[in-house]
Amino acid sequence: DRAAQWFLLLSLIAAAAIGLLWWELDSSRAFWIVLAMLVATCPCALSLATPTALTAATGTLHKLGLLLTRGHVLEGLNQIDTVIFDKTGTLTEGRLVLRSIRPLGTLGSDQCLSLAAALENRSEHPIARAFGRTPLAAEEVHSSPGLGLEGLVGEQRLRIGQAEFVCALSDTVAPSMPDEPGQWLLLGDAQGPLAWFVLDDRLRDDAPALLAACKARGWRTLLLSGDSSPMVASVAAELGIDEARGGLRPDDKLQVLQQLHKDGRKVLMLGDGVNDVPVLAAADISVAMGSATDLAKTSADSVLLSNRLDALVQAFTLARRTRRVIIENLLWAALYNGLMLPFAALGWITPVWAAVGMSISSLTVVLNALRLTRLPGAPVASASSETRPLPA
């Protein structure tokens, strides 16, 4: 748009100057020559160069299952040099399975499970689905993002989540986390810890391809998770992520992002939970999973409706192709107008032929942009993806 504004201004000045010159040389031809100049140099192709390419690319991404909710995503992807990943529900499937329960007090496993399920049933986090349903009802439930849940079940106030958060309710020392692999959550009340719960998750089948694409582009990769278990390090090691940090609260993640911005980094954030919302909102480009919470989706610049990470690999490639097509369109429009202007000024082109040339130029730009609707090797969008177990 800025280029078209300057070009239009220069075209009008040139038309006025040439018109005055022809008025002095041959007044009978002055009007038609000026008209031919204005038609020939109409900045239609120049103005269509960018929006046609972006529109075609946006439609292709939607077919792949990536919905753009803000207009700067395709251009911004070409500037990214750092990627931040969440773990649960993002790099992993998020379909956690409760593997075992280890009571720590007088209550049995079934009783602890019922109490935990009462709290988790009030949560939208992927972890909640692993606990199933219970006839017990929890009240006054509130979430501390990155830490856990607190609420009342009957007259009993409970917490579930990170050990330090849970034990703060009873002002007791947090028990040591078991050494076994998995995601460990502690349940406790005002008297102390009640039980450990260990959950298993599965790594997305297409996560390695996404990390490989990031590495191929020379991007720095970080894994920031609220999970404090050894699973964070295991996932990072399996995928070759440069840096991994666990047990982070939302403000901790935001501080990491702010430091990256201070270092001059352009950051892409991929997440799905409430604890990712501050980073999703503040990142240069953000992508929320299709299975993400509503708040995460509304905070992100795009939503991966298909939940397939390989669609992002296609998006990276398409962003570069879109930039090349935009440059090609702009160069073609500039070349056409640059050649037509002197011919029209010399009186070699009539207004009719100028209109034909202008139409052909605009059509050429549109046809070039339509190449972006075809993406070789594009994956088929799907609501689910194959998974594989996390490394022990």
Report the catalytic residues.
86
Residue indicated by tokens 């996390």: 390
CB 212 within 8 A of CB 233: no
Q: Which of 224, 111, 97, 117 is nearest to 160 (CA)?
A: 117
> Could you tell me the CA-to-CA distances from 355 to 29, 352, 359 in Å, in that order?
18, 5, 6
Q: Are 272 and 94 in contact (CB under 8 A)?
A: yes
Neighbours of 111 (CB within 10 A): 16
Half-sphere exposure of 225 (CA within 13 A, CB side): 26
226: CB partners within 8 A, 6+ apart: 88, 145, 146, 147, 246, 247, 248, 249, 273, 275
Q: Is 271 helix (H, G, I), strand (E, B) or coil?
A: strand
CA-to-CA dists, residue 103 to 111, 192, 266, angstroms: 10, 12, 46
Q: How far apart are CA 308 and CA 305, in angstroms?
A: 8
Tokens of 265: 């980094």
Given a contact cutoff of 8 angstroms between Cβ atoms, the answer to whether 388 and 238 are in contact is no
Q: Give 245's strand partners.
A: 224
Give the SS3 label for residue 82.
Answer: strand
